[in-house]
Amino acid sequence: MTAYAAPVADMRFVLTRIVGLDRIAALPGYGDVSMDLVDAILDEAAKLAGDVLAPLNQSGDRERCHFENGVVRLPAGFAEAYELYRDGAWNSLPFDPDYGGQGLPWCLAFAVQEMWQAANVSFGNCPILNQGAVELLQSHGTAQQKATYLPRLISGEWTGTMNLTEPQAGSDLSAVRCRADRQADGTYRIHGQKIFITYGEHDLAANIVHMVLARLPDAPAGTRGLSLFLVPKFLVGEDGGVGPRNDVRCVSIEHKLGIHAGPTCTMSFGDDAGAVGYLVGGENHGLPAMFTMMNNARLSVGLQGVALAERAYQQARAFARERVQGHAIGDPPGEVGPIIRHADVRRMLLDMKARTEAARALTYLAASQLDLAKHAETEAERAHAQGTADLLTPVVKAWSTDIGWTVASTGIQVHGGMGYIEETGAAQHLRDARISSIYEGTNGVQAADLVFRKVARDNGASARRFVAEIADYDGELSRAAGDEIADIRLRLAAGVDALSEATEWVAATAEAQPAAAAAAATPYLELFGTVAGGFMMARGAVEAARAASTGDGDQAFLGAKITTARFYADHVLARAQAMIVPITAGHEATLSLAEELF
């Protein structure tokens, strides 16, 4: 497996020239954020990712986690790496300074988080769930819960988990059976089993704080009867110190296709007297609270898709530069060189690069909307930003993780037969990437969320506003010089037309023919991501052209940004018009075949 070097130049470009980090940093609450600080954070994070986490990626995959008598131990080197991560205060970047956070923008935290995920996704899964638990408690916890748990979760001294899934309740949370019994002292006793719990047990932190969905005996049926409980591994004393062990334990860990070094646990609550739990939010109002954590995790999982795509691209690029094989058409007769000279290898590498950069920019944009939703100066601006974040969350989660899988698969193809051999490391990226389109809500669930909760709920108004923003950018493209940008403008305009047509069809069909809209949901999300990604690439090309014209920045890097955007426009965005038929007509065949004929 090749080394990992964080793409700091591209991250910085996206943050400063596409997302507008300088504007976000100037908002109330971000007064101490300077560009010098941003550069220092990115550079130092890149060192930890490249020098400490990345070298453990392949060794951790081979060693796997160790489980014995309820104890989970991570592979060699992980505990020491986590100490460096925790002691460097990396866990605290975007959180409230009142509880020990650094109060930095989420879009910057996402750039840093991408480095952990790309360097070592098994390691990076732990901070994802922890930050989601922090967000949940900040939004829904009591004052006492916040004072007791937030400082330790934010510092990374303790870690958090999300406990939803049960053997009979995967995406269908209405089937949750985990039981919560009221106690005279105001606590609850939790009984039941949860499966697929990421970092449900491990040896990195002094305590693990489980966020658990359970049902009271007199609760209404379905998701309306779910309540949310905070269940610590060790009970916490009044002084905040760790006390006796709670009645919760890991009974097994999964043997997975990938992410071997990160434990995925089956958790048993209440085998004896019952696990002590503390209500978060109101009784029978657990799902809305849990969605705070789930939406945070969904954006982070989308970021995992970006990160794994980047890692797979770097692996393939390095191999293509070193692997000498055959005569490339166009080279001098008899000359044999590295395979990066072959046209089809160049096409594959550029496809990997372009898709990764588009997904990165869209994911950072979504994170920036979280910053604006919290800190923009007017209520209208905050509401608009939150609406955009809500709209983009399922797209980022599903589209970016699909890209992670596609790019990792292409990476194996670049390696040829060597990619199919575990020793090269290319196969691990593919294995690690596969789960990201499943967990935190499968990508089909994300597509349904986009169609029914984001588009149909307001009759397409939010989606139309976003499409209009893309269309309005045509003026910027028209003022930018260069044939490449002219071609990008042409492709983006066609993409906007396709997305607009599809959005109108979805808005009109979702209520009248919900099954038809459901059948079109995944193609619609793919179209949405493709055009939104094209919008990001177009913005990047315009900004690169402006910077190049004034000599502001590395000219080779800026030229590459324009060429990569052109490739995306010609090879990815150009397919937008062809996506209309699967959306508007594809449901007819999908729904007509009798079940027995499948």
Beta bridge partners of 248: 269
Beta bridge partners of 208: 159
Cα–Cα distance, 539 to 534 (Å, whole number):
9
Buried b (16+ CB within 10 A) or exposed e, 507-541: bebbeeeeebbbbbbbbbbbbbbbbbbbbbbbbbb
Q: Which of 310, 440, 484, 526 is catalytic?
A: 440
Give me 586's structure tokens.
């594809």
Known catalytic residue at 440: yes
Among residues 434, 429, 416, which one has the least CA distance to residue 314?
429
Place of tokens 């919760």: 248
Beta bridge partners of 210: 161, 231
Question: Contact, 257 vs 246, CB < 8 A?
Answer: no
Query: What is the secondary structure of 403-437 as a DSSP string?
Result: HHHHHHHHHHHHHGGGGGSGGGSHHHHHHHHHGGG
Cα–Cα distance, 360 to 238 (Å, whole number):
43
Sorted by sequence, the CB contacts under 8 Å of residue 592 that are 6+ apart come out as none
What is the dihedral sign for C-alpha 260, 263, 268, 271?
positive
CA distances from 198 to 123, 145, 298, 502, 518 (A): 11, 22, 14, 37, 30
Cα–Cα distance, 289 to 228 (Å, whole number):
7
Question: Contact, 226 vs 173, CB < 8 A?
Answer: yes
Give me 325's structure tokens.
């094989």
∠ CA 457-463-468, nearest 5°, is 150
Cα–Cα distance, 264 to 254 (Å, whole number):
6
Q: Which residues are part of the catalytic machinery?
A: 440
